[in-house]
Amino acid sequence: MSYVSVFTLSVLMLLAFIYLYTSNYMAQQTDATIETEIKSLSERYETDGLNGLIQSIAERVSRKPAGSEILLLVDPALNTLVGNLNRWPNVPGTPDGWLNFRLERSAWGDGAIHWARAQRFRLPEGFLLLVGRDLHDLEMSKKAIARTLSWSLVIAAVLALLGGLAMTRGLLKRLEIINQTSSEIMSGDLTRRIPTNNTNDDFDQLSNNLNMMLDRIETLMEGVRRVSDNIAHDLRTPLARLRNHLDELNEESVNNNADAESIDQAIQEADGLLATFNALLRIARIEAEEQTDYFTAVKFNEVVQDAAELYEPLAEEKGQQLYVESAETNPYVQGDRGLLSQLVVNLLDNAIKYTPEGGNIRISVSVQSNQAYLRVSDDGIGIPEAEREKVFQRFYRLESCRSSPGNGLGLSLVRAIVELHQASMNFEDNSPGLMVVISFPITHAIAGS
Residues that bind other proteins (CB under 8 A): 264, 267, 271, 274-275, 278-279, 282, 285, 291, 294, 306, 309-311, 313-314, 317, 336-339, 341-342, 345, 349, 406-407
Q: How far is the CB of 332 from other proteins (least distance, A)?
A: 18
Q: How far is the CB of 447 from other proteins (least distance, A)?
A: 16
Q: Return the number of other C-beta atoms located less than 10 Å from residue 55's C-beta.
A: 13
Name the strand (E) or helix (H) holding 412: helix 410-420
Which of helix, strand or coil describes residue 59?
helix
- Provide the minimum distance between the beta carbon of 405 and other proteins in the complex, in angstroms, as a whole number: 8
Q: Give the integer Cα–Cα distance in Å for 41 and 44.
A: 5
Give the nearer residue to other proteins in terms of CB position, either 211 or 330. 330
Distance (Å, rounded) from C-alpha 393 to C-alpha 228? 12
Closest CB 355 distance from other proteins, rounded Å: 14
3-state helix, strand, coil in the chain (%, to 5): 55, 15, 25
Helix (H) or strand (E) holding 348: helix 337-353
> Which amino acid type is present at position 203?
F
Looking at the Cβ atoms of 69 and 336, the one nearer to other proteins is 336
Strands lying side by side in the sheet with 321-325: 321-325, 360-368, 371-378, 434-441, 424-429
Could you give the 3-state DSSP secondary structure of residue 295?
Answer: coil
Q: Please, what is the minimum distance in Å from the beta carbon of residue 238 to other proteins? A: 14
Nearer to other proteins, 289 or 429 (CB): 289
Judged by CB, which is closer to other proteins: 11, or 339?
339
Q: How far is the CB of 230 from other proteins (least distance, A)?
A: 18
**Pick 269 or 336: Cβ nearer other proteins:** 336
**How many other CB atoms sit within 10 Å of the CB of residue 201?**
12
Please report how close the Cβ of residue 289 comes to other proteins at its closest, in angstroms.
Answer: 8
In the complex, least distance from residue 272 CB atom to other proteins, rounded to whole angstroms: 9
CA angle 218, 223, 225 (to 5 degrees): 95
CB nearer other proteins, residue 142 or residue 353: 353
- Judged by CB, which is closer to other proteins: 215, or 271? 271
Q: How far is the CB of 267 from other proteins (least distance, A)?
A: 8
Residue 82: beta bridge partners?
73
CB-CB contact of 41 with 131 (8 Å): yes
SS3 assignment, position 194: coil
Whats the size of the chain, residue-wise?
Answer: 449
For other proteins, the closer of residues 369 and 403 by Cβ is 403
Query: Is residue 73 exposed (0-12), middle (13-18) or buried (19+ Cβ within 10 Å)?
Result: buried
Among 366, 368, 365, smallest CA distance to 347 is for: 365
Could you tell me which of 409, 415, 392 has the C-alpha nearest to residue 287? 415
Q: Considering beta carbons, is residue 49 or 313 the nearer one to other proteins?
A: 313
Indicate the residue among 417 and 434 with the shorter CB distance to other proteins: 417
Q: What is the CA radius of gyration of the chain?
A: 50
CB of residue 229 to other proteins, shortest distance in Å: 23
